[in-house]
Structure 1
Amino acid sequence: MGLARNLTLAALWAAMLFSPMGCKRYSDLSPEKAAAAPAAFEPGQFLDAQGAPLTPEELAEKAAGAAYVLVGESHPYPCDHLAQARVLEAMSRAGAPPVVGLEMVSLDRQGVLDRFNAGEFGVDDLPAALDWDKTWGHPFEAYRPVFEAARNLGLPLYALNAPREVARKTGKLGLKGLSAEERQGLPEKIIPVSGAQRAELREIFDSHPFGKPKEAKAAWKSFLTVQALWDTTMAYRAVQARRIWDRPVAILAGGGHVERGWGIASRLAAYDPKGARLLIMPWRGNGQPDPAEAGFFAFCPEPPRRPRIGVALETVEGGLSVTAVDQGSKADAAGVRPGDLLVKAQGEQLRTVKDLHAAALRALEQGGTLVLEIGRDGGSVEIDIPLVQPQDQPQDQPQVQPKGRVDAPGS
C-alpha cells in the first residue's frame, strides 16, 4: 500500500490497485488449472453447491423464494456478466422479475438510471451518461449483457454503492465527518466487519508494503471502515429497492462482497431478517465448488491475464529487465522497449518487482505518473507512464508468471 506522511484513503485506494476488496481473488488458479477445467461444462453453466449441473430453469426455481439473489463477479470477466444476465432472464421467465441492484453505480447517479428505466435513452448511451470510464472503469462491453437484459426484460436498475469520494472521506473521518449532503442516501450507521471476514481482509491488507507501524494502524482502520461502508450501503439500498418495487432484488457485486455471506448478505439479515437470501458465485473450475462460499455457482473459466502496463519483467542484477512489451499498451505508448533495464522508479532504486509496485503506488499519490529511469544502449533515459487512478479504475491483484515473468501494475 502507498506511503504518505499523513496516510489517508488515497493510500487505501492505492492498495486496491492490486487487490480491490470487492473483487474475489482467484490467484490460486493458474492458466494450467484453468485449461484443465471440466470439459463437460460450458461457460455460464449453473451448478449446485456439490458441483452438479443445473439448468437456468432449475436455478430460477431455487431462487423463486428469495427476496435477494446476490450474484458475485470478478469485474473484468465477461463470462461473469453473461451469467448474471442469465440469472436475470431465468428469474423473469419464472415469474419473479427482479430489481437489478448495481455495485458499479453509486447512489448519486440514480437519476441517470431512472431516466434509463423510463426509456429516455438506450444501452449505448449509458457509458457517457454514467461517466462510466471515470466512475467505474472496467470495460462497459463486459457489462453490456446485463444492461441489455434489463432493458429487454423491463427490469428497473437501482444504484447500490456509496460514491467513492464519500467512501474515502468516511474512511478517514467516519460518518460524523460527512456533510448533510454527503450523508444523503447512506445508512445511519455502518455495520462493522465480522470477525471471520476480518481475518481474510487482514491477509489482503498485510500483502502490501507499509512504513511506520502507526501509519499501518491508521490505514487498517480506514480499510475496514470503507469495506463496511460499502457492504452496509449496498444492503441498505437493496432493501429500499425491494420496498419501492415490491419485487425481489438481484444484487450484482464483486465476489468479495458476496462470498460466504460475509458482506452484503450479513447486512441484509440485519435490515430485513425475513428476506431470504440466495448466493451465486463464479466457479473457475479448480477443484470442487466450495459450499461455504455460496449456494450455487456459475462456471466461468478464468480468461488469460494481460500485463498491467503491458510489460513482462525479469529480475536481474541492477534492476528489472523488460522481456516483452505488449503492442498498444501504456508501456508501448510511452516508449518502453524489450531489453530495457528498469533501474529506478520515482527516484528509488529497483531491485525487486515489489519495489516497482511500491513506486507505482507512490506515483498514484503524487499525481498519477510513474517516472522510470531506464538503462538503454549503454546510457539512460527517463520515461513517464500515466497510471489510471485506482479510484477511477479498480484493478485486480497482479499475478506472478512462470520463469520470473510478472505483471507490472498500472493498466
Structure 2
Amino acid sequence: MRAALLLAALLGAAFLAACGGHGADTATDTVLDLSSGRELPLNEAALGLRDADVVFLGERHDSRADHAGQLAVIKALAATGRPLAVGLEMIPHTDQTALDAWVAGSLGEDAMRRTFARDWGEPWELYRPIFVFCRDNKIPMRGLNVPSEIARQVAEKGFSSLTPAQAAGLPPVACVIDPGYKDFLKRMYEAHGHEGHGGGSFEHFCEAQVVWDTAMAYYGVRYLTGVPDDARAPGRTAAEAPRPDRTLVVLCGMLHAWKPAMPARVHGLQPGLVLAVFLPREQGAPRPSTDDADYLLPE
C-alpha cells in the first residue's frame, strides 16, 4: 500500500511538473460560482470548463492579486489537458510576431519587455509570471488589440477622427452603440472611472470601448476558427469553421470581460462558441450577477 501511495505521489508530481511545476498552488484556490453562490475548488471549476471555447479573465490592470488569480486559472485549465492559447488585450495583433518568438524561445526577455512597454502602460512585472508560464509550457499567445495609438485617439477625439487609412487598418467595426450597452458602460464608467481610456468625453469613451471589444472579439474568433484575420481574404467563414481544438483564455480589463461587452461581441460573431467569464473580487462592491459573469477569480 505504501508503495502504491508513493507511486501515486510521484506520478502526481510529474504531472504538475509537466504544467510548469506550479500546480500545487491551485489545489487550495477557490472561485465563487455565481450561479450557485458557493465557493468552488478551482480545479473542479477548471474540469467543468474543458468544453469552453473562450474563457475571459477580467482584471484591474494594476492589481497584482488579479494577475495572480488569472495565472491560477490558466494553470488549472492547463492541468486538465485541454490545449490552451492566451489572448491579450495588452498586445495589438500587429505585434504577433514578437509573441510567437517569445513562446518559441527565440525572443529574449529584454526584447519582450520593450515590446510590452511600447504597447501597454502597466509594469511588465505584473504580467511576467503569465508570460513566463506560457513560454515554458509552449502555450500560444495572441495579440488581440488594435494599436494603442488608435484606441487612444478614439477615446480622446472619437471614432470620426480616424483617417481613412487608419480606419482601413481596423477589422470591420460599425461604431454604433446599442442603448443597453451604453447604459452598461455608463454604470461601469461611473463606478470604476476610465483610467487608461483617454481623456475625452463619455461618448468618446463608449466609442473606444466598442472599437476595442469588437476588434478583440474579431481577432479572437478568427484565431479559434482558423479564418484569416483579413475579412476580405478567401477561405472559410466563421460559420463554416470546425469546432475549436483549444480554449482561448482572454486577459482583459474587467470592463471588456463583462458579458455585455466583449463576450457579447464574440457571441455575435460566432453564436456556437461556449463562453465563460471570470471577474475580479472587489471589496465593498455589489456582487455581479450571472448576467455579468460566471465566476469570481481566486482571492
Q: Which residue of 2 aligns with 1:112?
A: 98
1:296 aligns with 295
Which residue of 2 is the match for residue 142 of structure 1? 126
Contact 1:99 1:241 in 2 (8 A): no
1:357-394: CA deviation from partner (whole Å, max 9, x where unpaired) = xxxxxxxxxxxxxxxxxxxxxxxxxxxxxxxxxxxxxx
Q: CA RMSD in A?
A: 2.9
Task: Decide whether the 8 Å contact of 1:191 with 1:267 is kept in 2.
Answer: no
2:220 is matched with which residue: 235, 238, 242? 238
Counterparts of residues 334-373 of structure 1 (less than 5 Å)? none
Tell me the SS of whatever aligns to 2:297. strand
Whether contact under 8 Å (1:106, 1:163) holds in the other structure is yes
- What does 1:11-410 correspond to in 2, within 5 Å? 45-49=30-34, 50-123=36-109, 125-128=111-114, 130=115, 132-170=116-154, 172=157, 174=159, 177-180=162-165, 183-184=168-169, 186-190=170-174, 192-202=176-186, 219-244=201-226, 246-259=245-258, 261-286=259-284, 289-292=287-290, 293-300=292-299
Q: Which structure has the larger Rg?
A: 1
Seq. identity, %: 28
Q: Output the amino acid matched with 1:187.
A: P
Please state how far the C-alpha of 1:170 moved relative to its aligned partner: 4.5
Give the conservation status (yes or no) of the 8 Å contact 1:193–1:227: no
Q: Which has the higher strand share?
A: 1
In the TM superposition, residue 252 of structure 1 has moved relative to its aligned partner by: 0.5
- Structure 2 vs 1, CA of residues 138 and 169 (structure 1 numbering), >3 Å: closer, same or farther? closer
> Counterpart of 1:283 in 2: which secondary structure?
coil
Q: Distance in 1 between matches of 2:28 and 2:255?
A: 21
Deviation, structure 1 residue 135? 2.6
For residues 180 and 118 of structure 1, do their structure 2 counterparts lie closer, same or farther at Cα, with a shift above 3 Å needed? farther
Uncovered stretches (5+) of structure 1, i.e. residues with no partner: 1-41, 208-215, 301-411
Whole-angstrom CA distance in 2 between matches of 1:64 and 1:173:
40
Q: Which amino acid aligns with 1:60?
A: A
One-letter amino acid of the structure 2 residue matched with residue 232 of structure 1: T
- The structure, 1 or 2, with the larger RCO (C-alpha pairs under 8 Å, 6+ apart) is 2
Tell me the TM-score normalised to structure 2 length. 0.72
CA distance in 2, matches of 1:170, 1:288: 30
Amino acid at match of 2:32: L
- Determine the C-alpha separation between the residues in 2 that align with 1:175 and 1:241: 28
- 1:225 partner letter: E
Q: How many residues align?
A: 246
Distance 1:286 1:170 in 2: 32
Q: Deviations over 1:67-103 (max 9, x none)?
A: 1100100011112111111222111211222210000
Counterparts of 1:239 and 1:159, CA distance in 2? 12
Higher helix share: 2
